[in-house]
Amino acid sequence: MKIVEINCKKELNVDSDTAWWNQWDHEHFSVAHEGFKQAQVFYEDKNCAVVYLEITLPIISFFKMGSLHFMVQKDEENMLSFSNFLGCPSVTHITIRETRKEFCEFNMNYKFLLSGWKIILAPIIKFLAPKWNERSWQEDLPLKQRRFFMKKKNFIDFKGISNDKIINNKILFKLPLRKINDSKVYEYLNKYFKNHKNY
């Protein structure tokens, strides 16, 4: 077995609440990202989610693959995502730390487990994964910036501009994120599990 490990680091002028909202907002995947063709939530609760994603890869965008993601929020600064990439199991560890007010550091560690003939995919993964990370970062950037701008204007989801001051900028991020009942990411649940709980 061979493990391919890749580390990516970023910085951005937003608070951690906004940064984590972006990580857990399943609805934006197929809208904001060129590489995500659809997203379906199979399960979610107060600290985890199972999401099916259909994705295309940088450079070889004609190639589509389905991937089941299990996401878990370990604590205020750490999230784990278990998935597969080109048929290889992968573990992503994301750390978002607010190092000073309204400024975050992002550390993204990817581990890909290759066995058998898939070991020959190591150079391809080393080439594609950083490109995937950079493309996703750039596509997410305006979302995070707009979200943070509106939050500073005291905007609250499903309520609009609030007269109540948002205390310490920490009260908005709560899993699972609220969605409308007929959200496209709930198509599977609404069809096969009509009594599922929409938090």
Q: What is the pLDDT of residue 166?
A: 57
pTM above 0.85, yes or no: yes
Q: What is the pLDDT of residue 65?
A: 82
Sign of the dihedral through C-alpha 58, 64, 70, 72: positive
H helices within 91-196, ranges in order? 122-152, 187-192
| 131 located within any domain | yes
CA–CA distance, 115 with 95 (Å, rounded to integer): 27
Residue 181 sits in a domain whose CATH number is 3.30.530.20
| 198 located within any domain | no
Per-10-residue mean pLDDT of the chain, 199 residues long, equals 96 95 92 86 93 80 82 96 90 96 96 95 92 93 94 84 61 80 84 65
Give the range of the structural domain holding residue 18, as residue numbers without chain letter: 2-192
Q: What is the pLDDT of residue 194?
A: 66
Which residues face 3 on adjacent strands? 113
Residues 22 and 140 sit within 8 Å (Cβ to Cβ): yes
| 145 located within any domain | yes
In the chain, the amino acid numbered 91 is V
CA–CA distance, 75 with 39 (Å, rounded to integer): 24
Q: What is the pLDDT of residue 112?
A: 96
Q: What is the pLDDT of residue 172?
A: 59
Which residue reads 């995070």 in tokens?
144
- Exposed/middle/buried for 192, CB within 10 Å: 0-12, 13-18, 19+? exposed
Q: How many structural domains is the chain composed of?
A: 1
Number of helices followed by number of strands (H, E) in the chain: 4, 9
| 12 located within any domain | yes
Strands 88-100 and 160-161: unpaired
| 174 located within any domain | yes
| 199 located within any domain | no
| 161 located within any domain | yes
Instruction: Count CB neighbours of 170 within 10 A.
Output: 13
| 15 located within any domain | yes
Q: What is the pLDDT of residue 164?
A: 65
